Amino acid sequence: MTVLADLPRLSPATLTQLKPGVALPGYDRDRLRVGIVHLGLGAFVRAHGMLYTDDALAQDFAAWGYAGVSLKRPDQRDRLAPQGGLYTALRRDSDGVKARIVGNLKATLVAPEDPEAVVAMMADAAARIVSLTITEKGYCHDPATGQLDEHHADIRHDLENHDAPRTAVGIIVEALERRRVNGIAPFTVLCCDNLPHNGQLVSGLVRDFAALRDTGLAAWIEAHGAFPSTMVDRIVPATTQADIDAAAEATGLYDAAPVTHEPFRQWVIEDAFVDGARPAWHKAGAQIVADVAPYEHMKLRLLNGSHSALAYLGYLAGCETVVDAVSNPALRAFVKALWREEVIPAVPAPAGVDLGGYADDLLERFSNSSIRHRTWQIAMDGSQKLPQRILATIRDRLDAGLPFPRLALAVAAWIRYVGGVDERGQPIDVRDPLAQTLRQALDQAGQSPAARVAAMLRQDAIFGADLPHAPAFVQAVTDAYAILLARGAVAAAGAAT
């Protein structure tokens, strides 16, 4: 079989190997230059932002190619570089699979191997945007407060080793400092992670880190930089061997790095870019707005909040994927009641959006059997996700004096999950930056539900200083945890409906 590595120039000879119906980039790839450096070269950006950019380039061509940077491992570079950055995106729905070849990834780098190359590329005037999908834990911050964790080992390293930074924040600040010294305007920093007020958050982290180096640098960034907030939405499961096989079947070419995604996509972006420089994303369907907050709250609390709740309850109940979870009648009724009774009343609707209809659409998306989104994948890094996805809504309910039994059950399910043993007594591979700390706290707490919940609530980085001292919250989570232990996830979800 011909491999995608043979396709970079999209020659007529190679195109004859493609199966009919495979979409190709609608522009001359040889004319493309790097204008966006993206930190975090995972599946999501390649199934979301890069697809928007490919569509925008086909309608309004400019030098908006990507350089993708892996911050940890060389895996993605090793798959993509031999293919010239080309890869297959597979859209899956009830009608089957539709394939397209994506062309805007022009370079791939691995920061730990050559941090200087990454910084130099970002410091060059050609880089107008630095975007990020590094997940919540990649920002080296306290999720409960949003503040930079100055004591994080990698942050300390970057403060002492300016020329060899490890973190996204350290890399960004070093590149901005070089641009300042050379009289080059800063790039726009575009966060595309599921974090509340993500542009404002990253701006604060960058400013605080820069101030620890040089207050003049921090002032320059604040005066001239841009950190627009965004809301991104598309379900993108982790790539499996089955996806690699499906890409080969759909295209007739072997691709080591395909991505798969649902049909739905949404990208809401605040219109705040340095010198207004950005691709014509609006021509590809992105929403360019003055304030992204209403969309962000809607998505974080309805989609991401319910995803996390289903991930923990579903995994404990033996559901491998989200579609498995919502196919369980008790869990399906639970998530519908969660939206209707607890989340929607606490979320201001964006103009023209019916939140009830939005929730109905979410349930339909979750029920897409062609998308195998694993509960284990969604459950990762829960200590970083819970504050934004679940606890923010609980705080609103507490302030209003309203109950939140389903949200409390989601928290209880997370506590049981990070304990590392499922309902059948099988070990759970818990992936979380605080996994060892959380497991140790639970092991030392004994078996009493009240003691185990109390041990978790002492984790200030997750629950802050307020929730552990809110009697209604402590009682609700303790009661939910006791029911979960006694009856299991499905019965507990049924009892909360």
The average pLDDT across 465-469 equals 95
Strands (E), 46-122: 65-70, 87-93, 96-102, 105-110
Report how far apart the first and last C-alpha atoms of the chain are (Å, whole number). 52
Evaluate if residue 374 carries a pLDDT over 90.
yes
Phi/psi of residue 49, nearest 5 degrees: -60, -40
CATH top-level class for 4-289? Answer: alpha beta
The average pLDDT across 203-214 equals 97
Q: How many CA atoms lie within 13 A of 119 on its CB side?
A: 24
Sheet holding 188-191, edge to edge: 105-110, 65-70, 34-39, 129-132, 188-191
As a dihedral over the C-alpha atoms of residue 114, residue 240, residue 101, residue 288, rounded to 10 degrees, the angle is -80
Evaluate if residue 11 carries a pLDDT over 60.
no
The average pLDDT across 229-245 equals 96
**pTM for this prediction:** 0.90
Percent of the chain at pLDDT exceeding 90: 91
Q: Which CATH number fits domain 293-496: 3.30.450.40, 3.30.1550.10, 3.40.50.11540, 1.10.1040.10?
A: 1.10.1040.10
Q: Could you read off the pLDDT of 135-192 as tens digits, one per residue?
A: 999 999 988 888 999 999 999 999 999 999 999 999 999 999 999 999 999 999 999 9
CA separation for the pair 273, 263 (Å, rounded): 28
- Tokens coding 139: 């920002």
Strands (E), 152-273: 188-191, 230-233, 259-261, 266-270
Q: Could you read off the pLDDT of 35-57 as tens digits, one per residue?
A: 999 999 999 999 999 999 999 99
Q: Could you read off the pLDDT of 411-463 as tens digits, one per residue?
A: 999 999 999 999 999 999 999 999 999 999 999 998 999 999 999 999 999 99
Tell me the residue length of the chain. 497
Q: Could you read off the pLDDT of 293-345 as tens digits, one per residue?
A: 999 999 999 999 999 999 999 999 999 999 999 999 999 999 999 999 999 99
Please tell me if the domain spanning 4-289 has the same topology as the one spanning 293-496: no
The answer to whether residues 330 and 491 touch, using CB atoms and an 8 Å cutoff, is yes
Instruction: Give me the residue label for tokens 């920002």.
Output: 139
Q: What is the pLDDT of residue 13?
A: 54
- The domain limits of the chain are 4-289, 293-496
The answer to whether residues 164 and 116 touch, using CB atoms and an 8 Å cutoff, is yes
The average pLDDT across 131-135 equals 97
